[in-house]
Amino acid sequence: MTKYTKEDILSVLNAKRLDLLKYMAKAARYRKNNLITYSKNVFIPLTEICRNDCGYCNFKKDSNDSEAIILKSKKEVFKELKTAEEYGCKEALFTFGEDADEDKVVLKRLNDWGYDSMVDYIVDICEMTLDETSLLPHTNGGNFSYDALKRLKEVNVSMGLMLENSSERLMELPAHKKSPGKDPKLRLETISNAGKLKIPYTTGILIGIGETKEEIVDSLFDIREIYDEYGHIQEIIIQNFTSTPDIEMKDWPEPSLLDMIRTVTAATMLFGDTDVSIQVPPNLNYDTAQSFLLCGADDWGGVSPVSIDYVNPTSPWPTIDVLRNLTVSEGFELTERLCIYEKYVTSEWLNDRLLEKTLNLLKRL
């Protein structure tokens, strides 16, 4: 249970001038060590088809689009995994549009290949990853039922789903009005079910999509409440909306640097008495990334030497050398981690197969 009230955290989001500097300094004091972490991964979108149509999305494509990834074959995925292995990647990040198998084109391809659903397919893909590569699977494919999560737990060391925001009001705005899967009740249920199943988990919020500061506070507290109950949330992403020419929300203003600093500071304070990491995507904040280290951020997230960020294709990853320079020049040390944080590498959280594979990779870090 946090010692902070919602009013306390709202004060951080409204802080200006010296008050903001004082909050940043307070957040920085929660830092437990001098390490800034990252996970070297390969980003593999199994399909770009999605039932949601978010106003800020750069990922989704229509199944009639000749350039769309309808469904990557196991052969294609295996080739990407082996390339990633050669580059020293340890995380296989599998993404796909939510309930993509509701699309007839996707479902037909699944059926043609002998699968009844996307869950059947991703389970098989993860099995292949575990059996034939050294990489650890991490799946992020939107909301899943409890039963689907139970199956996926057996072949994933960790999973993730961005809460984005827990306000139902955003379902009326361009961000989520055409996206039934962004219903906060569904997302909070998925995150909670992952906790019940003891799945190490990544979640976070997206700022700049029409939310109020009060709604940011509510969202962070909703995550904190779930963490307090289940203890499975290993990192929280603070992600900023970025405008690109091809999205519905192309004319929306992006959040300011100070808004990002305030939000990172607030999240750090709210989770400062836990071991939950605060992550800011460096590819979305090239010129300002270092600022977030000064107010508590301690993780850069997944960074790939072999694949683009398919969710943000116009924002290339920094190289590991660039990331190290950004980190070291602020007085910190860059260190590689796995997609499952070390505290979860126990038989309480992983089955024997996943535990053995993870322990072997830990020795290579």
- Cβ(2)–Cβ(270) under 8 Å? yes
Structure tokens at 192: 């909670």
Helix or strand (DSSP H, E) at 1 = none
Is 339 annotated as a binding-site member? no
Longest CA pairwise span in the chain (Å): 63
Alpha helices in the chain (DSSP H): 6-13, 17-28, 74-86, 104-112, 118-132, 146-153, 184-196, 213-230, 257-270, 289-293, 320-328, 352-362
What does the alpha-carbon distance between residue 81 and residue 300 come to, in Å, rounded to a whole number?
22
What does the alpha-carbon distance between residue 241 and residue 281 come to, in Å, rounded to a whole number?
11
Residue carrying structure tokens 């020293």: 88
Binding residues for [4Fe-4S] cluster: 50, 54, 57
Query: Binding site residues, as ranges?
Result: 50, 54, 57
